[in-house]
Amino acid sequence: MSNPLLVGAVAYTPNVVTIWEGMREYFAGTPSEMDFILFSNYGRQVDALIDGSIDLAWNTNLAWVRTVLQTGGECTAVAARDTDTVFQSVFISHAGAGMKGLASLSGRRLALGSQDSAQAAILPIHFLRKAGLGDSVELLRIDSDVGKHGDTGRSELDALRAVLDERADAAAIGINTWDAIGRDELMPGAFEAFWESPHYSHCNFTALTTQPESRVAPWVDHLLAMDWENPAHRPILEMEGLRQWVRPRMEGYGSLFEAVQEQEVAPRW
């Protein structure tokens, strides 16, 4: 393999290794061969992208925002999952609690996920403030996977448990956790969603603008060619939680840029 494109990803679960070995195999023998480096947290990955140790970073939306801010905008988002373009935060309560909409949170306690989770902490606070509820909701913060931007889902499960244990009236989680875990994992029928946020954008592959287009473009083209109907491609797509790679929806990051500025979110964890 001569001069492969080096992609960074965060090792938030053991199957990340399997995913990226599959990705490397998919690109093998093409004009855009790749290898990968795994990081323990997104702060180190962003640093590695900026200092040139990696060519591309598989970033969360918060890691993207931080890359933009730390480079003065000298970076570009080149690809995302189809699911990343329609991401949402979901507010969950006990089934039958009678909560309807954001206003029902006034005077109640909301459990949040890790402080660096856009979907389970930063954006939920932003949406509460936009609705004029910033001072009327008590927040229970659960920082159980800081550094991984909520990727593990652990803090979101802990937030749901706080509702079960009656330490909170509601929990803020990401739509992926709600769809994959929250509906049935802890107690079938125990929860219901009483509010879903507007759509926003989540992860993307990030490159610096100094990265030659001649290296990035063929890689992106081959990535977008992955086919759900191809049995050799589907396992990777399933593990990464998508059916199709797409171009990022850039306007979907606006709410997080606003939230990071409003809340003075730390530049690095």
The more confident residue out of 58 and 184 is 58
Does 103 share its domain with 182? Answer: yes
Q: What is the pLDDT of residue 153?
A: 86
- Mean pLDDT across 35-47: 97
Residue 182 has pLDDT above 60, yes or no: no
Q: What is the pLDDT of residue 114?
A: 94
Mean pLDDT over the full length of the chain: 94
The region, left, alpha or beta by phi > 0 then psi within -120 to 50, assigned to residue 208 is: beta
Does 186 share its domain with 121? Answer: yes
Per the structure, how many domains does the chain have? 2
Residue 188 has pLDDT above 70, yes or no: no
The pLDDT confidence band at residue 146, using thresholds 50, 70 and 90, is confident
Does 131 share its domain with 192? Answer: yes
Does 207 share its domain with 255? Answer: yes
- Mean pLDDT across 136-145: 93
Q: What is the pLDDT of residue 185?
A: 56
Query: What span, in angstroms and rounded, lies between the C-alpha atoms of 26 and 35?
Result: 11
- Which CATH number fits the domain that encloses residue 40? 3.40.190.10
Q: Tell me, yes or no, if the pTM score tops 0.85.
A: yes
Amino acid sitting at position 197: S
Tell me if 268 is assigned to some domain.
Answer: no
The pLDDT confidence band at residue 218, using thresholds 50, 70 and 90, is very high
Choose one of 180, 196, 212: the last residue of a domain.
196
Does 121 share its domain with 186? Answer: yes
Does 166 share its domain with 112? Answer: yes
Question: What DSSP character marks residue 30?
Answer: S
Residue 77 has pLDDT above 60, yes or no: yes
Collapsed DSSP state (helix, strand, coil) of residue 48: helix
Q: 118, 202 in Cβ contact below 8 A?
A: yes
Choose one of 176, 196, 216: the last residue of a domain.
196
Expressed as residue numbers, the domain containing 171 is: 88-196
Tell me if 108 is assigned to some domain.
Answer: yes
